[in-house]
Homo-oligomer: A and B are copies of this chain.
Amino acid sequence: MSEKQINLKDVAESAGVSVSTVSRVLDGKDCVQEKTRQRVLDIARRMGYTPNALAKTLKTGQSNTIALMIPSIQNMIYPDIVRGVEDTARKYGFIVILCNTDEDQNVERSYIAKLRTHWVDGFIVASMMADSSHIRELQKDGFPVVLACRFYGNDIDAVVIDNMRAACDATEYLIRTGRKKIAFIMGRRDLSLYTDRLEGYKQALLSHDIPYDDHLVIQEPQDINSLYYLVQELTGSSDRPDAIFASNDLRAIIALRALHDAGVTIPDDIAVMGFDNVELSSLTEPPLSTVSQPLYKIGVLSARRLIHQISYKKEHGHVESPLVDILGTDLVIRKST
């Protein structure tokens, strides 16, 4: 049974001092006589005193807790980001609340409604969408907010990569290695990270005088499993493409399977390029060439920035003006191209 929790008052009585003295000692304030200091520390330990962080938060207004909102931890890119956030948060004494939103605005709103209730000091959101007005409200209400992996203007802190450029580089690599007819597997059209990647692909084509062909872009179906068949369909004809650039690794891996099962040789017949460089991409057959996104680092930097904003706000009463941090990507060439 949970014995009665010891509190400051109990310790104070036992030690024959006032609560404020105990509070000072435990807070490491120096303005306490060494002798009393030792005694208090000793008694506190002996009594098994544990501070009540809640009461402290109520008083000081800082909970040392941040919320991390992501679409879904089951999406392979998030574990690394989450780890980066948590490791960093822990380092600075913060705790993280994980929120999976499935890109559902309602879930997101209800989480925010719940968390803004003085629970958390700030938010890292990797699930921002163009119409996420609640995120902007959050910001307007003075909460530190940093966006991860998504970009919606310079008026809000963000840690991102240059999706357009990265996709352009990857496409150019394909062109440079002799591919002439490159298909693209597209993701959700309402996410700028995907429209940017598509844009990069188009740009690379353009600058190499390759006409853009709509029939070469496969729109990922609602049911991801049917992507398999769409790939086989596109590559079944005689004038099939000689390369496929997928807007993320999972789609690339499915393409790999679809092609393999249809008997096409990779990369001889068709080259396949992914995007993200999730852990698995090195384990496929053949190992996948892909664009490497510094996922863990995105997590680390988002957390650092958020924590910076939290302490800045504590000191100045408001957050520092927003910064958007654009991280570099690398092309990692393995055996699929």
Structural contact, B79 and A119, CB atoms closer than 8 A: no
Contacts A73-B73, A142-B1 given: A253-B283 contact, CB under 8 Å? yes
User: Using Cβ atoms and an 8 Å threshold, which residues of chain B touch A257?
Assistant: 283, 285
Interface: A190 (CB within 8 A): no
A254 touches B (CB below 8 Å): yes
Determine if A191 is an interface residue (Cβ-Cβ < 8 Å): no
A72 partner residues in chain B, CB cutoff 8 A: 83
Does any Cβ of B come within 8 Å of A237's Cβ?
Answer: no
- Give A116 to B5 CA distance when docked, in angstroms: 11
Q: Is A117 an interface residue (CB 8 A)?
A: yes
Bound Cα distance from A322 to B140, whole angstroms: 47
**Stretch of A91-99, A150-158, A172-180 at the chain-chain interface:** A91-99
A1 contacts B317, CB within 8 Å? yes
Chain A contact residues (Cβ within 8 angstroms of B): what range? 35 or more
Q: A3-B142, A72-B83, A96-B98 are in contact. List 16 more A-B contacts (CB 8 A).
A: A50-B113, A53-B114, A53-B118, A54-B57, A54-B117, A65-B97, A78-B79, A79-B79, A82-B98, A86-B99, A87-B100, A90-B107, A95-B115, A97-B97, A260-B285, A285-B285
Residues of A at the B interface (CB closer than 8 Å) are 1-3, 5, 50-55, 57-58, 63, 65, 72-74, 78-80, 82-83, 86-87, 90, 95-100, 107, 113-119, 141-143, 253-254, 256-257, 260, 279-280, 283-285, 317-318
CB distance from A23 to the nearest CB of B (A): 15
Residues of B within 8 A of A284 (CB): 283-285
